[in-house]
Structure 1
């Protein structure tokens, strides 16, 4: 098998590509593909935020992250479930490549979840049976078979392994099964997981409709594995139809991952609930105009007592320090809509010194912060702890944080 190895935001010149490989890089991996100057059959390829692997025929198209794989795995694991994350997890440093690292992390969390055995629970079943079981579904019976006695449309509760938690694990495992893995141990772990879930219905999920699991003391030990499965499925592992053949792939949008990590880690540092520190889609209604037509969905917002106390945005890009104009305009719109005296912009890369832009006309301070994703997990979380203090300070309109540079706009 041929492996075409690329790196996030790095241009590789004069690549020989088939038409299908070229189109997959453009449409699925969202890379920029341009003809090489002076050539009729070569291409210059520049990946964007999307990393992962897609099998196209006998070619493995692999885009690796610009940060170390161990750091990407930390972001992925922590974003899925902060409470259960282990800083000394051996899977962080042992991965030879991106795909093997992601699969290794997933199977490790699944092995921990299944140590007590396969989780069972009650589920509602609707079926047509020759005898009564549970309750007769009269509405369905009369609609489907008016005037007929059998079979009976019934609804009953079944207690078995075919529950949402196991279905999510199986869905993620099946997506990862056909990817090229380096290491027999991880490959066997993945197949062992699939075999252990053989009594579970094979689910089909759309990335925008991944089920949410309610956590109780009975299923809490499943949470790290299930939340990672939900995150992988939500970020989309495509099955690219080509006739009747499925092309397996693992796709991770680093911009989505970075945003999810920042929100999850700040939520954890603030001891806030998802309702108090929601995602943009789940944010309480926020509009820029009086008519309510300009809907805003900030990446970060904090609602400790039902009122917005902090607003912010996350950008997976490198910043030279003072912040980029378009990003600051967006941040100012958030501050204007919430009538807050401050808002914070967080970049994935940039100088360690924070910046502040004072906007006299709007009486707003715009803070610009940078995270260093190359730092070890402990140091990265210390940066998050510092940001959590700024969340409170910015929300309360307190004085400029120590070390912030004042910039006028």
Structure 2
């Protein structure tokens, strides 16, 4: 049996009875903030930060693992809108595409969404394509790999080292989908009915090579031919890349799936602003590297920099997903934006927050004349309202006066 601890993103700490080995595993795993109770042995204080999802932690000598579930502050359907828009702003998911309104927890919603996307992608059969293959054969097919033939066969006629392109379903797109399905089937907390449908999707992909854990994912390019796979592939790569937690340090095992809301909010804001500014004649660069000093020793990387047709920076943005604070937003963010504006030669800078205690505000820096804007986006509103707020921020960016 697994004990379950339910937390809410950035909510007050929860006290839970845990074996010390599991408490130390949580503290060392950068999953939640965990601290032992100084007065009551075996009790730990657990507080969730910006990572949401679910993980199971097991430790040597502990029979009962612990499942930690972190619920996001925003509704799950809204989280999927942010994710879908950041992955594909022009054809982002709609509520009918992901159908997560019936799920309150992130992992069941994620498993359901992937299963629905994979089912839509495979409805007309598995996509086929050409896959380059090198093998040893008794029949000449394609071209003979002469160097390998000489090195391995020492002049023998058969077998033959050949290379050819096979028209098959064992291609990158299908391999990625199967890998994501396999990943979710290993995670705890997937509802039984969703797990059954995922097993059905795995059976449809049975002839596709399984990607071994630790191997890099195969690359794919969006084309007209694989357009019905696009949504499924983007969601699958999100599951398989940096959002998954799966490791076993020092005998401990942590298995689960987490979204970092900091990164999700940053991706949404920058991609949405880039798309909104597309028709303004300005070009946008995300995570644009620069240096603060003339010796190029102090590196900085604003989330988004807009450039004019002359290649000169004309606006800078940094996105900050912050918990609400009693006294508003941190001053350190203003100092960081002041550095960006100074290094880029800009008269204005823009900080974009998730909704906190302040709406739009502007601060003019003494003796520098630099104006720093602070924008707050309400993530609880409907997508249309959220995108309207993005358009207002984009309007201010485009109208930033040139120095």
TM-score (norm 2): 0.86
Structure 1: distance between partners of 2:384 and 2:42: 47
**Moved runs in structure 1, 4+ residues, more than 6 A?**
242-246
Cα 1:350–1:206 change in 2 (3 A) is farther
TM alignment of 1:156-195, pairs within 5 A: 156-181=164-189, 183-195=191-203
Structure 1: distance between partners of 2:332 and 2:39: 36
TM alignment of 1:8-23, pairs within 5 A: 8-23=9-24
- Structure 1 residues 292-314: Cα deviation after superposition (integer angstroms, max 9, x where no partner): 33232221223464543322111
Of residues 286, 292, 315, the one that matches 1:288 is 292
TM alignment of 1:2-401, pairs within 5 A: 2-57=3-58, 58-82=65-89, 83-89=91-97, 91-142=99-150, 147=155, 149-181=157-189, 183-204=191-212, 210-241=217-248, 248-271=255-278, 276-280=283-287, 283=288, 285-303=289-307, 305=309, 306-318=311-323, 323-351=329-357, 353-359=359-365, 361-394=367-400, 396-397=401-402
Structure 1: distance between partners of 2:357 and 2:254: 41
Structure 2: distance between partners of 1:197 and 1:89: 22
Cα offset, 1:145, TM superposition: 5.3
- Structure 1 residues 282-330: Cα deviation after superposition (integer angstroms, max 9, x where no partner): x3x5222223332322212234645433221111103668642221222
Whether contact under 8 Å (2:5, 2:16) holds in the other structure is no
Cα offset, 1:363, TM superposition: 4.0
Cα offset, 1:213, TM superposition: 2.7
Structure 2: distance between partners of 1:291 and 1:138: 52
Cα 1:291–1:146 change in 2 (3 A) is farther
Cα offset, 1:5, TM superposition: 1.1
CA RMSD of aligned residues (A): 3.0
- Secondary structure of 1:317's partner? coil
Structure 2: distance between partners of 1:376 and 1:114: 31
Cα 1:266–1:221 change in 2 (3 A) is farther
Cα 1:143–1:392 change in 2 (3 A) is farther
Structure 2 counterpart of 1:405: none
Cα offset, 1:109, TM superposition: 2.0
Q: How many residues align?
A: 392
Structure 1: distance between partners of 2:25 and 2:172: 32
- Structure 1 residues 4-39: Cα deviation after superposition (integer angstroms, max 9, x where no partner): 211222233431112443244224352111111311
Cα offset, 1:267, TM superposition: 2.7
Whether contact under 8 Å (1:357, 1:366) holds in the other structure is yes
